[in-house]
Amino acid sequence: MADTLTKEPDYSAGRSVGSLYWAVLRRELLLFFRRRSDLLNPLVFFLLVASLFPLGVSPDPTFLAQVAPGVVWVAALLSTLLSMDGLFRSDFDDGTLEQTLLSPQPMFVVGLAKVSAHWIMTGLPLTLLAPLIAVMLFLPADGMAGLVLTLLLGTPTLSLIGAIGAALTVGLRKGGVLLSLLVLPLYVPVLIFGSSAVQAAINGLPVSGHLALLGAMLALGVVMAPLAIGAALRISVSG
């Protein structure tokens, strides 16, 4: 304590964007691991939707094979949306969000790290689980690679878009419904290109066009969404 105010603090260590990204990412992953039920919730939901669908509609393999791309994609989209609301909620409630906004560090990096952690904990497991579900729904083997690839490109975009909505609604006590309404229209293009790519793969058509479009959406999201997240969080906290 003695020489705190005279000593110029070493900013160079904290300045490094990479180390900040890793610090936030590590903290978020640690938090996810400490609350494992939150981790399992979207996965269980994903599995339930996909396994109830044949029971509710028709167990006929040819019919299921036709709707499988759509069902897997819709289920993945909804379970991502389900997990979105909690992204900033606990930080907002215990005051760590305020502290994040008051830090001199760029919110872009913090936002990106938080979304990355969210994707690693929801989008990535969903993508890995998808082939299993696809087999359950009799998705033809030709479509399998396409399904995994589109989900790999699509789910991070879903996380990025959803995080903007979560940041905008975090200040509201009951923001869940508003979040869905805000985010769902923006999810539609991802869903359309994602499921139609799988359909194209099944029919033996080239999928590179669809994948390129999904990739473009992801690139745009990575660049723009963290800016929007930072601005949205400032609005939410100042209210």
One residue of 79, 80, 83, 100 binding another protein per CB under 8 A: 100
Orientation angle between helical segments 107-118 and 208-238, nearest 10 degrees: 120
Q: Read off the tokens for 79.
A: 């379970």
Q: Which stretch binds another protein (CB under 8 A): 54-62, 100-108, 142-150, 206-214?
A: 100-108
For another protein (CB under 8 A), the number of binding residues is: 36
One residue of 5, 37, 62, 174 binding another protein per CB under 8 A: 5
Spatial CA neighbour of 108 closest among 236, 221, 238 = 221
Q: Read off the tokens for 53.
A: 């669908």
**Where is 159: in which H helix or E strand?**
helix 142-169
Instruction: Please report how close the Cβ of residue 122 comes to another protein at its closest, in angstroms.
Output: 18
d(CA 204, CA 17): 44
Q: DSSP 3-state assignment of 6? A: coil
> Does residue 1 bind another protein (CB under 8 A)?
yes
How many Cβ atoms from other residues are within 10 Å of residue 93's Cβ? 10
Spatial CA neighbour of 34 closest among 116, 112, 123, 117 = 117
One residue of 51, 58, 103, 203 binding another protein per CB under 8 A: 103
> Does residue 40 bind another protein (CB under 8 A)?
no
> Does residue 37 bind another protein (CB under 8 A)?
no
Instruction: Please report how close the Cβ of residue 208 comes to another protein at its closest, in angstroms.
Output: 40
Question: Contact positions toward another protein, by CB under 8 A?
Answer: 1, 4-7, 9-11, 13-15, 19-20, 23-24, 27, 30-31, 34-35, 90, 93-96, 98-105, 110, 237-238
